[in-house]
Amino acid sequence: MAASSHLTVALNRAEPFSGSNSLPSLIGLSTRYGKSRLLLVRTSSWRSPKRTLVVRNVSSEPTQKLKDPVADEESATGASTFEPDSSSIAASIKYHAEFTPLFSPDRFDLPKAYFATAQSVRDALIINWNETYELYEKLNVKQAYYLSMEFLQGRALLNAIGNLELTGAYAEALSKLGYELENVACQEPDAALGNGGLGRLASCFLDSLATLNYPAWGYGLRYKYGLFKQKITKDGQQEAAENWLEIGNPWEIVRNDIRYPIKFYGKVVVGSDGKRNWIGGEDIEAVAYDVPIPGYKTKNTISLRLWSTKAPTEDFDLAAFNAGEHSRASEALASAEKICHVLYPGDDSFEGKVLRLKQQYTLCSASLQDIVARFERRSGANKKWGEFPEKVAVQMNDTHPTLCIPELMRILLDLKGLSWEEAWNITQRTVAYTNHTVLPEALEKWSFELMQKLLPRHVEIIELIDEELVRSIISEYGTEDKVLLRGKLKELRVLENVDLPAAYSDIFIEPEESSIIASAEGHVISNSVDDKNSSKLAKSVDGDETVKGNDELISPPPPPPKMVRMANLCVVGGHAVNGVAEIHSEIVKDEVFNAFYQLWPEKFQNKTNGVTPRRWIRFCNPDLSTLITKCTGSEDWVLNTEKLGELKKFADNENLQNQWRIAKRNNKLKAAAFLKERTGYTVSPDAMFDIQVKRIHEYKRQLLNVLGIVYRYKKMKEMSAAERKEKYVPRVCIFGGKAFATYVQAKRIVKFITDVGATVNRDPEIGDLLKVIFLPDYNVSAAEILIPASELSQHISTAGMEASGTSNMKFAMNGCILIGTLDGANVEIRQEVGADNFFLFGAEAHEIAGLRKERAEGKFIPDPRFEEVKDYVRSGVFGAYDYEEMIASLEGNEGFGRADYFLVGKDFPSYIECQEKVDEAYRDQKRWTRMSILNTAGSYKFSSDRTIHEYAKDIWDIKPVELP
């Protein structure tokens, strides 16, 4: 483009302006780049979909007409694509660098280049985005709303331009400006909106919903600091505040006109009309921030709406501030803003519990108010509340959004004036629940007293829901078998340790016997005793007893706390409950919610998790993607992962195997450089990359992995150099993941891994035969580097405890071979890739209860190799830190924090024997590469596209809506 040219961009909409819906007819902006001038002219009508994008070189070039990013209605079908050239993209980037500035104007460095690039991409997305929801509004389609406390998005730039099929154009444009696309993309911090698999699954689902053209919306919270930034020091894991929003987020758009009141505390009063009103208390506002989620090879762009919290302006106490009481003046502001500061604030304190409950209610209340407002707007004057479930599907991602149920009831009852029967029917038909865990601590329970104080109206509604449930239970099981009925009520009720509703309070009261006996003297004697000396037995529904003796009151133990069981409320209030893997869904039916399954079997479903093949193969592993495309003949596999199955017929092809190994080695070289930069350790790309990256938790058994490494290291030290080389395949053992800040045992495990690494990595006798790396602050961006480089991945949780897992799917997609137990999605992955291509060890889920019982009875005999490795740790070879409590958790037969609840000792011998099989297989690279190809081929089932199709059909009843 000539330096002296004027560049004019005109964005036209053909329809004339009309009424208050019109936007300004002309917006003129100009800026100089040397002698060039960019002039943006916009003419628009709010209602018109017709647009054209024109680039004009005024001085020397004829007009060049490009297709608009969203709509080119010049075609007969009205379809359009966005196909700008690199020059126009470069001009757009330069425009944003000057006219959407977040940095000083005197230099154009990498951070500024990233923001300007992201803003230029967002321009294209906004047009698609607006048209997507204009169409949904016009058609008034049924829409799904996915509510989650976590969305682990990762970086957005490469994903967005990849979905728009503009990667090459943006790479060339940035090259013209002096930068490489990859370096610019690396400036983007990962959005700190999640922690682990729960949040990453939610993000994969949004990608699939957009790609498959389903009308949907995600709802979450806009955490200022996220979970935490993990630092590894000599003392182990240290937590610091995450700074992802420090320099802004170019992807989000604040919707200042979308805000809803949120109330806490206060009281419920009955008005003169008999309606219940929640008044007083603490009031805040939830403000919407929207993030666009583009689909792949489609114009469809959906929203992730994140709520931020603030206090109303009038709550700032100006008088107190002017009096010098500055902290008191802004108390309301600080109290409101802290709700969205941190993901999962520590809840060991009362204040922490209050804050978590406030977070959950804020998500539910703001989202439900928004959903209801949208329903009313779309319905217009013909609003029929009975049709609400025909237009709205709400999915609760785990128990965190459970308060959706009483909140929707509150809105329908108190604000919309519906009867209880109408509101309850609507709520049950609208809401569905995904269970993600069998761990008791994750099946949330909240203090009844705390919830009653914070959300008094919701507790009233929950009590009525509980009464509705009690009525159903009694109707199903009758009152004749008191033992059976008591057991069902104890297991099923939403309210735990709470008296039965008044209408049913006399069910378990036995009639007092009184017989009249005539004595020989003719006196009448009563068989009942007087109150003063009675030995009266009072029983609660749970069978607790209080005995009053003749002479003194025997003090009973303190009553158990009254609790609200959120998982039970989810099952009662929703129309569908799904597990996230076949084995998990069976455990949900057979164990976790067995009594509910007996009562309502039709509610329970399985929806095996999936991951998006766009981010997890196509974009993060371009070398492998190229090979897959060559083998399958097209890129159709990116949308139809069934095509991956075609790789099976090439598994023995030597040419493919050679190229497959080259692709893997290229990824390993990239990962090695990344590890060097992040940890300082140098690793050999010729060693096997053995990776376990996930949240640090005892049930995920990183401890089993590192104890296996310790055993390997000990045996190496006992051998000569020649014996070591003969016996062991070189390995780089990589760990990543965060231990929750208050989870002491998990943090000990992190410290232990880093201590083992510090010892092993500096041992000159071992050299490159064994390296142990803990990658700090593991996140999605790190996963995108490590997963393509992986060769062995560890998914070794105690059988029956991992609901599904999604990282196992990502690793398999990238040709990584898994070692694992029959747990979660491992079961289905092994079925698909073939038993010969999966390294299996350990006890199975149906054996776990018996093994724990055996341990409690003192019958467990530990393997000598397990005792040997524990003694080796205790010897102090890995430093002065005292690991006695960590090791002691693996010993004894009972007690909290002891007795090896997660069966590390039981599975240890099976695990190390399986690792020997891994070494044997890796030595035969032809065999290993064949296994790798078959893992990618067998991963076709684990696309989130497949999962979303199943949700859409079986739970939400929504249909795709594609933009013209």
Residue at a domain's end among 440, 466, 484 = 440
Domain count, the chain: 2
Is residue 810 among the annotated active site residues? yes
In a domain, 14, yes or no: no
Output the CA angle 526-530-533, nearest 5 degrees.
130
Interior/surface letters 508-528, b for 16+ CB within 10 angstroms, e for the rest: beeeeeeeeeeeeeeeeeeee
**Is residue 455 in a domain?**
no
Q: Which of 263, 810, 906, 941 is catalytic?
A: 810
Give the C-alpha separation, 154 to 221, whole Å.
16
Residue 459 CB neighbour total at 10 angstroms: 20
Q: Which two tokens stand for residue 647?
A: 């790789």
Kindly compute the dihedral angle of the four CA atoms of residues 210, 226, 201, 405, in this order, to the nearest 10 degrees: -90
Q: Is 364 exposed, middle or buried (0-12, 13-18, 19+ CB in 10 A)?
A: buried
Pairing of strands 537-539, 545-547: antiparallel
565 an active-site residue? no
Phi, psi of 179 (to 5 degrees): -130, 155
Examine residue 490 and state whether it is found in any structural domain, yes or no: no
Give the span between the Cα atoms of 940 and 613, in whole angstroms: 9
Q: What are phi and psi of 813, to 5 degrees?
A: -55, -35
Mean pLDDT (whole number) for 618-634? 97
Which residue has 């081929």 as its token pair?
Answer: 937
Per-residue pLDDT tens digits for 60-115: 333 333 333 333 433 333 333 445 789 999 999 999 999 987 888 888 999 999 99
Measure the CA–CA gap between 707 and 168, rounded to whole angstroms.
46
pLDDT recorded at residue 552: 58
Q: Known catalytic residue: 959?
A: no
Q: CA-CA distance, 395 to 401, in Å (whole number)? A: 9
- pTM exceeds 0.75: yes
The predicted pLDDT at position 527 comes to 40
Amino acid type, 897: G
Residues 237-258: tens digit of each pLDDT: 999 999 999 989 999 999 999 9
Q: What does 13-25 look like in DSSP terms, one character per residue?
A: --SPP-GGGPPPS
Query: In the annotation, is 700 catalytic?
Result: yes
CATH number of the domain within which 207 lies: 3.40.50.2000
CB-CB neighbours of 794 under 10 Å: 28
In a domain, 168, yes or no: no
Cα separation, 280 vs 176, whole angstroms: 60
Position 678 in a domain: yes
At CA 436, angle to CA 435 and CA 440, rounded to 5?
90
pLDDT of 193 strictly over 50: yes
Among residues 806, 821, 936, 947, which one is catalytic?
806
Domain C-terminal end among 396, 418, 440: 440
- Nearest-angstrom CA–CA distance, 134 and 140: 10
pLDDT in tens, 132-154: 999 999 999 999 999 999 999 99
DSSP H/E element including 260: strand 253-264
Residue 75 lies in a domain: no
pLDDT > 90? residue 523: no
Percent pLDDT > 90 in the chain is: 80
Query: Catalytic pick from 263, 643, 694, 870?
Result: 694
Query: For residue range 444-474, what is the model confidence (pLDDT) as tens digits?
Result: 999 999 999 999 999 999 999 999 999 999 9
The count of other CB atoms within 10 Å of the CB of residue 464 is 16
- At residue 31 the predicted structure's pLDDT band, cuts being 50, 70 and 90, is very low
Residue 273's pLDDT is 86
Structural tokens at position 452: 């009653």
**Catalytic residue, candidates 96, 222, 400, 700:** 700
Q: Write down which residue in 415, 440, 465 finishes a domain.
A: 440
Whole-Å CA distances, 778 to 154, 363, 675, 694, 937 = 11, 26, 11, 8, 27
Q: Note whether residue 952 is domain-resident.
A: no
> Which of 24-33, 70-79, 419-428 comes out lowest in average pLDDT?
24-33
Residue 521 has pLDDT above 80, yes or no: no
Q: Which of 158-167, 188-197, 321-330 has the lowest mean pLDDT?
A: 321-330
Active-site hit among 299, 565, 607, 695: 695
Structural domain containing residue 196: 140-154+190-230+237-440
Please confirm, yes or no, whether 695 is among the known catalytic residues.
yes
| Residue 114 in domain | no
**Residue of higher predicted confidence among 510 and 232:** 232
With beta carbons less than 8 A apart as the criterion, state whether 408 and 574 touch. Answer: no
